[in-house]
Amino acid sequence: MAAARALDVVVDIAGIPLRLRTRDPAFSRMLRERYASFLRTSAPPRICQLDIHLTPSDRPPADADQDVRVTRRSNRWRFERGDFVCEWDPRWRRGWIRQSPNPYSVDSVLRILHSLLAAAQGGFLLHAASAIRNARAFLFAGLSGAGKTTIARLAPPDVTLLTDEISYVRPRAGQFWAFGTPFAGDLEHAGTNVSAPVAALFLLAKGDLTQSEPVRPVEAAYALLRNILFFATDADLVRPVFYSACEFVRRVPVRCLTFVPDPSAWDLVK
């Protein structure tokens, strides 16, 4: 019997296209549906590529709650969790994933891979909701329970939501820009695939009143680093992420936004 034809799905996040290649038609359809707003019909010659090898669906469920392990041996990266194994060669921009046919494993791999790709370009992924208003992007950072999804739900009609969970920040033309991502939180839907220069970062805190106060650069850098999504411990990548965070707080205003769950919180977003 002839081998199944390779099916390609090109997912473009933050201007970085990645070809996901599978031979399973049902899984290919799932990828197209999940990343619909981030698909590209054409791809550049030197595109990144991940070959997806699916394990039988009748195997016992894998443990997706294990800690992720990201290691580098020689020039290859390896990502491991109970539900997937991935290897990535940055020299050739090629890699593979072995996982069961579910959307959550590949979603996690994309987050890990993009954290590495962003770091190499002076950017980072951030635990933050983000949105565009008046052609400027605003980030709302905080750990679980800080109010990222709440502030996203309260957004007025003139706001374009980029994400309620994982924001993508990269330098472009001398500024830091925020990009929409398909990485959804409690809102359970992908952000809009657009971008804009970052006007401010708000560190979220819930309280009995709504107010916005400036944050000193040292405290801002510490809070930013706590919220950056990064799995590798390799010094060659940790160092540029640290420098990028310091440069970010030097260029972008950082404020603490204490708020009650009311749309009036957006009156302070400017």
pLDDT band at 31 (very low <50, low <70, confident <90, very high): very high
For residues 188 and 173, is the Cβ–Cβ distance under 8 A?
Answer: no
pLDDT band at 1 (very low <50, low <70, confident <90, very high): very low
Q: What is the pLDDT of residue 65?
A: 65
- Give the separation between CA 209 and CA 45, rounded to whole angstroms: 53
Across the range 27-49, mean pLDDT stands at 92
**What is the overall mean pLDDT for the chain?**
91
Listed in sequence order, the residues at least 6 apart from 63 whose beta carbon sits closer than 8 Å to its beta carbon are 82, 83
- Has residue 179 got a pLDDT over 90? yes
> Per residue in 133-150, pLDDT tens?
999 999 999 878 888 999
Stronger pLDDT, 2 or 87, i.e. the higher one: 87
Q: What is the pLDDT of residue 14?
A: 96
Q: What is the pLDDT of residue 59?
A: 60
Q: What is the pLDDT of residue 60?
A: 55
Please give the structure tokens belonging to residue 198. 């970052």
> What domains are there in the chain, each with its CATH number?
7-120 (no CATH), 124-268 (3.90.228.20)
Across the range 178-206, mean pLDDT stands at 92
